[in-house]
Amino acid sequence: MSGVSDAAGFTGVFTAMSLSNLPPLVTVFGGSGFVGRHVVRALAQRGFRVRVAVRRPDLAGHLQPLGNVGQIVAVQANLRFRKSIDRAVEGADYVVNCVGILFESGRNTFDSVQEFGARAVAEAARAAGATLTHISAIGADAQSDSTYGRTKGRAEDAVRSIVPDAIILRPSIIFGPEDNFFNKFAEMSRFAPALPLIGGGHTKFQPVYVGDVAEAVVKSVEGSIARGTVYELGGPEVMTFRQCLELMLKTIDRKRPLVSLPFGVASLMGSVASMVPLITPPLTSDQVTLLKKDTIVSPQAEAEKRTLEGMGITPTMAEVILPTYLVRYRPQGQYTRSGKAA
């Protein structure tokens, strides 16, 4: 019996030593989405263990090749159910919340996902003693006319009150292989005779590469930037809506007239599109409201170096990355000869 007892004790000590040598564990909420998958890859490349909290782990298999065997594990979690959040955070050293929605669908409302969900993640992180990085958006404001912007702002307020040392990242529009901006209009250009310039196309953006956003998240987890700080993430260029579409059309070698669409008309079209069941609306009235304000890094953030450059990250230009994934929208795909615009 003493031999069995000694063996059990040795096994326990060995297990404890093994666990103490494991890399830190990061729980990433929304890790299977557009931004989340790039965050997961960046964390895995730095050697972290990654627990990806998603509603459908069975649909997150595409994340496995981003790390070594067993380094990335998907678990079930729904931001509307607190117990699932607590389970996903248990034992984690760091928590990253990448969850966000562009439009409401069924029970996935801005209030439930972006406000209640963010509050629940912050409370779970505090209870677990984990540090927190929260991805918000430029334009987040509890007083915003947009429901999206308003719930993002309330989420930030909740996160700061619950976890005062949380890092909040506010990106401008994000571009990358799975983005919902350049891809949307490039797809539209394949069939539409013209593209809409909502509000005349004067709204200013500062498109930021998703890989740069992921790098900012890694720096926040590694502790190389100040905690309890709000960072605004923008690319190297400020571009109008019109300039964004012109760059996209140039990249895919297509010619389409750009037609001004007043905010009122666009809002009405968005409201109608949102009422059609079983489709992803190409535009919503809330998104039109967002387009009435510029989405660029503030002068204050620039002055205080609460930017990508301030983190030591050189922002990537859109014209460098867009051809790598928009090529499929060219008339003959990768075989389109430059200058033969359709």
What pLDDT was estimated at residue 16?
A: 46
pLDDT digits (tens, 9 = 90+) for 250-293: 999 999 999 999 999 999 988 887 777 656 778 889 999 999 99
**pLDDT surpasses 50 at 14:** no
Return all residues near 49 (Cβ < 8 A) that are at least 6 apart: 22, 23, 24, 25, 26, 71, 73
What average pLDDT does this structure show over 10-21? 51
Instruction: Show the domains of the chain with their CATH numbers.
Output: 12-171 (3.40.50.720)
pLDDT of residue 19: 53
Task: Round to whole Å and give the CA distance between 256 and 258.
Answer: 6
The percentage of residues in the chain with a pLDDT greater than 70, rounded to a whole number, is 91
- Residue 105: the pLDDT is 78
Asked if residues 318 and 174 have their Cβ atoms less than 8 Å apart, the reply is no
| Weakest-pLDDT range from 66-80, 122-136, 275-289 | 275-289
Split at pLDDT 50, 70, 90, the class of 94 is very high
Q: Comparing 16-20, 105-109, 175-179, which segment has the lowest mean pLDDT? A: 16-20
pLDDT 10s digits, 295-332:
999 999 999 999 999 999 999 999 999 999 999 999 88
- Asked if 263 and 202 touch (Cβ cutoff 8 Å), the reply is no
Q: Which has more confidence, 14 or 289?
A: 289
The answer to whether the CB of 209 falls within 8 A of the CB of 236 is: no
pLDDT, residue 341, reads 62
pLDDT of 67 over the 80 cut: yes
Q: 168 pairs with which residues across the strands?
A: 134, 230
Checking if the pLDDT of 230 tops 70, the result is yes
Contact criterion met (CB below 8 Å) for 53 and 32: no
Per-residue confidence at 17, pLDDT binned at 50, 70, 90? Answer: very low
Identify the three-state secondary structure at position 174: strand
Q: How many CA atoms lie within 13 A of 154 on its CB side?
A: 19
* Residue 138, CA distances (Å) to 46, 113, 134, 314 in order: 27, 18, 13, 19
Q: Environment class of residue 236 by beta-carbon count within 10 Å: exposed (0-12), middle (13-18) or buried (19+)?
A: middle
pLDDT at 2 over 60: no
The pLDDT score that the predictor gives to residue 6 is 52
CB atoms < 10 A from the CB of 192, how many? 12
- C-alpha–C-alpha distance, residues 281 and 213, integer Å: 26
Find out whether 284 and 273 touch, Cβ atoms under 8 Å: yes
